Amino acid sequence: ERLLILTAILWIAGIVGFGVISVWRSQAWAYAIAMWTEASQRASGDNSRAYGELGAYYKLAANYGPAEHYLKEAIKLNPNFGPSMNNLAWIMLDTGRSDDALKMLKLCVERCPYYSLAWQDLGFVYEQLGHAAEAERCYQRALELELET
């Protein structure tokens, strides 16, 4: 009986803890989104960094519509910024568009051949699509790049 009560208490604490963490995260993402929105409005000239960060934080908040919009804007302004392309590929993957994610990551490693995370994620997408040899090649390239730095 004591074990059952202890298990129940831990289970409830876990749920409450998860809820607290979820609320904290959503507040943190909201703060970051507000900060980068303000930065994008104040910036003159190239807003690609602000748009890329906005897209990344909207993605973390699982708000994919605005995330995709801002990441595409960032890529328009700076077509060689790997993190924005990589984040956009993950949104595509998370929303069931594996083929689009594959195309975006191929473009990313073409434009940013030394961006190891893009190679790693390209390998992951190939693996998910059942292309083991291509996945292994991409993972190997990511590892090589990481060992060089």
In tens, the pLDDT along 25-50 reads 566 777 777 776 777 777 667 788 88
Residue with more model confidence, 48 or 72? 72
Q: How far out from the chain centre does Cα 17 lie?
A: 24
- Cα–Cα distance for residue pair 133/40, rounded to 1 Å: 42
Portion of the chain with pLDDT greater than 90, in percent: 58
Confirm if 101 and 89 have CB atoms less than 8 A apart. Answer: yes
* pLDDT one-digit tens code per residue, 105-143: 999 999 999 999 999 999 999 999 999 999 999 999 999
* pLDDT for 12: 46
What is the mean predicted confidence (pLDDT) over 70-83? Answer: 95
Asked if pLDDT for residue 13 goes beyond 90, the answer is: no
Q: Is the pLDDT of residue 20 over 70?
A: no
Tell me how far CA of residue 126 lies from CA of 67, 76, 86, 109, in angstroms: 24, 26, 14, 14
pLDDT at 2 over 60: no
pLDDT number for residue 24: 44
Per-residue model confidence (pLDDT) at position 28: 72
Which alpha helices (H) appear in the chain, and where do they start and end? 2-42, 48-60, 64-77, 82-94, 98-111, 116-128, 132-148
Position 80 pLDDT exceeds 90: yes
